[in-house]
Chains A and B, each alone.
Chain A
């Protein structure tokens, strides 16, 4: 179970000016075993919400309470130490997540999954971006979490590898659930039960059924498409 309580987030520019609220009073409780799809237009804070839930970033107000093991956003490559080898980074993460005694099992999984071979013993800073994202994917899936955080926008990789990651991921979903940001409706419909629609400057709407959420979201997109640009500006 994850409780998200009255979450507010905004960013600050270098001259200490604040931007508008990126997240404005986001409030929901995700029950155990339910997968959530987060939908909304570009720039409404979907990735930000995921970062806050994963604890990578901190809210300005409100809090996130995790009653279970939550992953960091899958495929994020920012947490690597460039001067260390892939294997050293891997061991480090395994120790942090309490796998100090099963190091070998984690190493085997990542070796097998990422197909990096000897490159695993080279410093991460020598990796291509494709190799980095493979390693990042492999590491995210190497540990058992109750809730995985998946962000389509930040996770990159070539198509074949993505398909492989997808497959492993779906096998996991038997025991674990996911909070997912994606623009692909098919994937959302397939993997998620509940939906959260984030809207700019308005309170987000929770849907118990992701299908309802997608329908409502699509309607709103169509509506704004039908309104001529000039008129919309006048209304604003």
Chain B
């Protein structure tokens, strides 16, 4: 005989556990090259960018940081936000069958997906830094705790955006193409592959509206002690974005829960 009704937090916890196991299984066994590309994409990117830069004859160093490590951190941080948003877009559609069980809500699918993303991307970053260390590049963070907290902040930003995008895309499916299209320009204006320090103030002023730029620059600031970040980045601005996107995302999920569940 069952021991009565389970308290809500317990139900939620078992749903998260079940979804997480399922998600990890799907990501690692679902497509055979999944694991490879998780590492392959950033490595390929780094190799290409480094060869372009050395071909152009630029110096490998950025003020106060090693270029390769600088690139690694920027790429992993950006990929985490990007993948959170892109995977968040499909999270609800791909879990549709499961909403037949009343315990599972669309917002659970989002949480679990982005937690999985955080875990996987963290592993990828550690592997990348490990590879760099093996090739005698100094890839140890100067302020590990700061790096960790900024890493988590970037994840929360990704989660907040994913919550909003997942609802918007269900209500207006065409937005999906727009979001995918925006990712490449976003990569360029977030200062991932080339530094934005030398841009004139009049342009930088507008680029600084982008919270990902703030997140990545702050992450690097904690990683390299003597790093010169872009003027005007602030932790407060980043966190304002995180709180607003999270609140708006959760509100949208609460408001449109039934619409999201409907087939």
Contacts and interface: CB of A to CB of B under 8 A. Distances in A.
Interface of A: 54-56, 58, 66-69, 72, 76, 78-84, 88, 91-93, 95-98, 100, 144-146, 175
A95 B18 contact: yes
A91 B17 CA distance: 11
Contact of B101 (A69, A72, A91, A100): A72
What are the nearest 7 A-B pairs in CB distance? A55-B102, A95-B18, A79-B100, A144-B2, A96-B18, A92-B18, A78-B100
A94 B107 CA distance: 20
Contacts, number: 69
A144 B5 contact: no
Contact of B14 (A54, A72, A95): A95
Contacts of A72: 100-102
Given A54-B102, A82-B97, A175-B1, 18 more contacts: A55-B102, A78-B97, A79-B101, A81-B22, A81-B97, A83-B26, A88-B22, A91-B21, A92-B22, A95-B14, A95-B17, A96-B15, A96-B101, A96-B103, A96-B104, A98-B6, A98-B10, A144-B2
B106 to A, nearest CB: 13
A145 B102 CA distance: 14
A56 B99 CA distance: 7
A195 B104 CA distance: 31
B97 A69 contact: no
A79 B97 contact: yes
A100 B22 CA distance: 13
Interface size class of B (residues with CB under 8 A): 20 to 34
Nearest to A98: B14
A83 B30 CA distance: 9
7 contacts: A56-B101, A56-B102, A79-B98, A80-B97, A81-B22, A84-B22, A96-B103
A38 B6 CA distance: 27
Contacts of B21: 91-92, 95
A92 B2 CA distance: 19
A32 B228 CA distance: 69
B4 interface: yes
Nearest to B30: A83
A69 B11 CA distance: 12
B14 A69 contact: no
Interface of B: 1-2, 4-6, 10-11, 14-15, 17-18, 21-22, 25-26, 30, 97-98, 100-104, 258, 261
Chain A interface main SS type: loop
Contacts of B11: 98
A87 to B, nearest CB: 11
B14 A58 contact: no
A169 B123 CA distance: 48
B101 A145 contact: no
Contacts of B261: 58
Contacts of A97: 14, 103
A97 B98 CA distance: 13
B171 to A, nearest CB: 14
Which of B2, B22, B97, B103 has the most chain A CB atoms inside 10 A of its CB?
B2
Contacts of B2: 69, 144-146
A66 B14 contact: no
Contacts of A81: 22, 97-98
A235 B104 CA distance: 47
A175 B2 CA distance: 10
A68 B102 contact: no
Contact of A100 (B17, B25, B258): B17
A58 B17 contact: no
B98 A69 contact: no
B24 to A, nearest CB: 12
A47 to B, nearest CB: 14
Contacts of A58: 258, 261
A78 B98 CA distance: 8
A76 B22 contact: no
A146 B15 CA distance: 20
Nearest to A146: B2
Contacts of A76: 100
B101 A66 contact: no
A68 B4 contact: yes
A44 to B, nearest CB: 23
